Structure 1
Amino acid sequence: MLPLGFLGWIIIGGLAGWAGSKIMGTDEQQGILMNIVVGVLGGLVGGMILGLLLDVNSGGWIFSFVTCLLGAILLLWIYKAVKGRTT
């Protein structure tokens, strides 16, 4: 299986960030660039967390998407929790 390149992470991260923002109800507040950032950062966070439990390097595109999605949802949940306390 080929590893994901830079463009692959941008595409998967953007899709995962968009899906995560839809699930968390923050899509109206974010643009495409922020969806990509949240998805890619979510991939890093999700990869670190799932890396403790599973072998994340052997997963394919779908596993990478799910990892990014779970990380994006976690990041957006934390953001909403912090934002909710300050306002």
Structure 2
Amino acid sequence: MADLGFWGWILIGAVAGVIGKLIMPGKDPGGCIVTILLGIAGALLAGFVAQALGLAVRGWFATYLAAIAGAVVILVIYRLIIRNRRV
């Protein structure tokens, strides 16, 4: 992904986290900060996976799509961990 700088990652993280939560609604602990961190982690995950697979993520649209997909994956993993903890 492009060199976005600190505020660029925060912006992409916030947008990806919010959209990821809209795709997978439910009761999850955490507020805005957790949502942003979820999106940032998703963006990083998507970037690492794309690089490992030899795929290029270019442009804002592709970057956001990859970050949203990564945020959804992170949210699924998070919910699985929390669900197993409660049992």
On whether the aligned pair clears a TM of 0.5, the verdict is yes
- 2:64 equivalent to 1:65: yes
* CA-based RMSD: 1.8
Provide the aligned length of Structure 1 versus Structure 2: 84
- 2:58 equivalent to 1:31: no
List structure 1 runs of 4+ shifted beyond 6 angstroms: none
The percentage of counterpart residues that share the same residue type is 35
Q: TM-score, normalised by structure 2?
A: 0.82
CA distance in 2, matches of 1:27, 1:64: 27
Please state which structure has a larger fraction of its residues in helix.
Answer: 1
Aligned partner letter, 2:56: D
Aligned pairs for 1:2-81 (under 5 A) are 3-26=3-26, 29-53=29-53, 54-56=55-57, 59-81=58-80
Answer with 28-37 or 5-14: which moved more. 28-37
